[in-house]
Amino acid sequence: MNCDKRAETPEALKTDDDEGRVRALERYEVLDTDEEEPFENVVKLVQQALKVPMCAVSLLDRQRQWFKARRGLGVRETPRDISFCTHAIQQADAFIVSDAAEHPIFKGNPLVTGEPHIRAYAGIPLKTPDGYNLGSLCAIDDVPRDFQPHEISMLESFAKIVMEELELRQIASSDGLTGALTRRAWRETADTEIKRANRYGRPLSLAIMDIDKFKSVNDTYGHAAGDTVIKHLARLFMDSKRESDFFGRLGGEEFVLLMAETSDVNAQHILERLREEFSAAPIENDAGNQINCSFSAGIAELSEGEDLDPLLARADQCLYEAKNGGRNRTVLDQTQQPRKKAVDHGLAKTLVTESQ
């Protein structure tokens, strides 16, 4: 099964991949968290500097707009389909509405005709380093208003502070729930290993794994049960990996495994063994429920001179293929010819034995 190579650079704005955008948001592990001083300070300063009655750090989940911090807004979340932020994340720059009551899109919006009676809106997209708009930092007025260039510039500066704070959340090297490497720590390690593999012409493969239908686990059994499933998968991989393998949690129910000195074929042997073991027996949560789970995986082998991001993109595309192909399966990338399809026979024999 062929996996199309993504043409976008990591810096390109990705407005047509909402599922990827939501997954990027989940990697920051910020949704439904408590109030935190750095974000509260930002909205306080926005309210004071722009003299607006309302402002918020707004993040867009699949079906809702959720406020990490807010001033003048009585609710913590709203449906996504009526949010102004839905339109803001489609922009590269500021999204401005001077009078929502006269605007063709918003004049009938319940947030305009009813509480909180939005009339003017300025939203700055919160863009990740890999090009996804997670939400917006927005200033809101209840009277028509033309936001001035210097006000928009200030709002942009505050939005950068919000994203810097979100990035700081990922600095710790060990994920608190699973003990796996955090996304940031894993990327740093992976960069080093890829440079080594390129320098010496050695094989290296990467797999991205995602628990199938994980949302239904949370919806049926609760988030505590979801955490139990996540920890079970992480423990399976960490107990099985070699010293030369690096296992990390990208966020939510998505994990990644970098395997040095390993071809894609041998990597698939390993992943298939772990996939079968994970799906073979139900997982019991604290309430005694028996939860049947599986995972899907995409696998890609390093090509000569390749960097981490395109390698990740190829594996991630194969994960999409695995999900779309029925889940509970692994898919190999076939779009690029790795530098070596054959590995040392002794190593191959060891890996195949391990995978049985």
Cβ-contact 210, 323 below 8 angstroms = yes
Is the pTM higher than 0.85? The answer reads no
Domains of the chain (ranges; CATH) run 18-168 (3.30.450.40), 183-355 (3.30.70.270)
Q: Is the pLDDT of residue 346 over 70?
A: no
For the question of residue 77 being annotated catalytic, the response is no
pLDDT of residue 29: 74
The pLDDT tens digits for 197-230 are 999 999 999 999 999 999 999 999 999 999 999 9
- For 194, residues 6+ apart whose C-beta sits below 8 A from its C-beta are 204, 302, 306, 307, 308, 311
Comparing CA positions, the residue from 210, 304, 202 lying closest to residue 261 is 202
**Per-residue pLDDT band at 31 (split at 50, 70, 90):** confident
Cβ-contact 205, 267 below 8 angstroms = yes
Query: Which residue in 26, 165, 253, 261 is the catalytic one?
Result: 253
The pLDDT tens digits for 231-275 are 999 999 999 998 889 999 998 899 999 999 999 999 999 999 999
